[in-house]
Amino acid sequence: MTGAGGGRGESGVNVVSGVGGVTSVSGDSGAAGRAGKPTLAVVGATGAVGTVMLGILSERADIWGEIRLIASPRSAGRKLTVRGEEVEVVALSEEAFEGVDVAMFDVPDEVSAQWAPIAAAKGAVAVDNSGAFRMDPDVPLVVPEVNAHAARVRPRGIISNPNCTTLSMIVAMGALHAEFGLSELIVSSYQAVSGAGKEGVDTLRAQLAKVAGTELGTQPGDVRRAVGDTGPFPGPMALNVVPFAGSLKEDGWTSEELKVRNESRKILGLPELRVTATCVRVPVITTHSLTVHARFENEVTVPAAHEILASAPGVVLCDNPAEGEFPTPADVVGTDPTWVGRVRRSMDDPKALELFVCGDNLRKGAALNTAQIAEVVAAELTASRN
Ligand code: 2RA
C-alpha cells in the first residue's frame, strides 16, 4: 500500500463509499441552519474516543442541531471545539439529557450501564460504545454497512456499538457473507496498543524509548528486563508480540476472543456461525489487523471476492502484492474504511478464502461506527417528523 490517505487510483483500490449518503462535510450549516435538526449529546466528550468523535463530527455532514458535550463533573466547564465552534462541557446528570434526541456514550461499561438507560428514559436514543449492552437480546448491535435495519428495533431505547476487534473486520465479512453465505471464521488479531487506552500507548512509547538504539532482542528475557513496567499488558510490547488481549475467561479463552465470536454471530444474524479467534497484541499504536480464514456455503473465487470487496461500502480493496500493495497499520491509521488485501483461495478448500484486514480501531473501531449509527437514527427521527 502506497499511502492510505488518498486510498484510490492504485491497482485494486476502490473509492470509499459511505452509508446512508452521509460521508462528507457539507459545510452548509452554521448555527442558523441547524433549527429543527436533532440534538446530539456526546457523553465522554473529553476521553480518548470522545476526542476522536469530536473530530469525526466536525468532518461529516452537519446533520445535527445542537451538539451537547457531556463529561464527568470534574471536566464540566472545559471548552472543546466541535464543528469549528467552542462548546462548554456540561456535567453528567439527568438534566443534561433534557431535549436530547440521540446520546452517544464513549465511557466505561459501568458508566454506560448506569446512564444509558437514564438517557433513554428521558427520550433519547442511546448509542453505546461500551460493552455493557452488546449481548443484551433487547439491544441491537449495529454496523450500518451490515445490519442498519437492526437499529430500528430497540426495545430499551439503546443501540450498541461492537468492540473494535470485531469492527475492524466485520464490514468486509458482511459483504462477502451477503454473496457467498458465511459458514465459519477462523481469525487471528494483531491488536494495537491504543485498544488498551492511553496507558497502553504511553507504555509502548516508554518501552520503545528504552530499547531504541540498543542490541536488545537477542537473549531470553533481555527486553523484559530492560523495559521493566509492562503497563496494562502481560508482557513487554516493544520488540515483541503478546498472545493475549482482554481478560481471561473460561477454558483459556480471552474476553476479546469471545467478543469476536459472539458479536460476529449477532451482527451477521448467524447464531450458529462457527467462529474461532486468537487475539494477539502487537507493537502498533493504532489500527487493528486480522488474518481471516473465511469458509462459505458455496465455492468462491478470488476475482469474485475482489469484485464484491471493491464495491462494498466502507471497504477498500488494496490487493496487488506483486507491486507491494497490501494494507498495513502504518498506512491505514487515521483513515475510515476497512482495508482488505492478500485475498487468496485456500489451497485445500475451494469454499474458503484467506484475507488480511486492517481498520483504525479508534475510528471505524469506535467513534466512526457510533457516529454512523447515530446518523441512521437521526435520519429515521427526521423522516418521522416530516
Ligand atoms: C482492545 N478491543 O484492543 C479492545 C478495546 N476495546 O483492547
Burial of 213 (0-12, 13-18, 19+ CB in 10 A): exposed
107 half-sphere exposure, CB direction, 13 A CA radius: 23
Q: Which one is catalytic: 164, 279, 318, 358?
A: 164
User: What are the tens digits of pLDDT across the range 316-368?
Assistant: 999 999 999 999 999 999 999 999 999 999 999 999 999 999 999 999 999 99
| Minimum mean pLDDT range among 48-52, 246-250, 333-337 | 48-52
Rounded to the nearest angstrom, the distance between the alpha carbon of 95 and the centre of ligand 1 is 32
User: What are the tens digits of pLDDT across the range 179-197?
Assistant: 999 999 999 999 999 999 9
Burial of 210 (0-12, 13-18, 19+ CB in 10 A): middle
d(CA 228, CA 225): 5
Residue 22: its pLDDT value, please?
Answer: 36
Q: Which three cell numbers stand for residue 2?
A: 502506497
Q: Which three cell numbers stand for residue 369?
A: 461506527
Q: How many residues can be counted in the chain? A: 386
What is the pLDDT confidence band of residue 32, given thresholds at 50, 70 and 90? low
41 half-sphere exposure, CB direction, 13 A CA radius: 32
Which residues is 69 bridged to in the sheet? 42
d(CA 335, CA 142): 20
pTM here?
0.91
What is the pLDDT confidence band of residue 33, given thresholds at 50, 70 and 90? confident
Neighbours of 15 (CB within 10 A): 12
* Residues 162-191, mean pLDDT to the nearest whole number: 98
In this structure, the residues whose C-beta lies within 6 A of any atom of ligand 1 are 163-165, 191, 195-196, 245, 256
**Triad 231, 282, 315: Cα angle to 5°:** 130
Ligand 1 closest atom vs CA 288: 3
Rounded to the nearest angstrom, the distance between the alpha carbon of 48 and the centre of ligand 1 is 13
Closest CA to ligand 1's atom 5 = 195
Ligand 1 closest atom vs CA 191: 3
Cβ–Cβ under 8 Å, residues 160 and 254: no
- How big is the chain by its Cα radius of gyration, in Å? 21
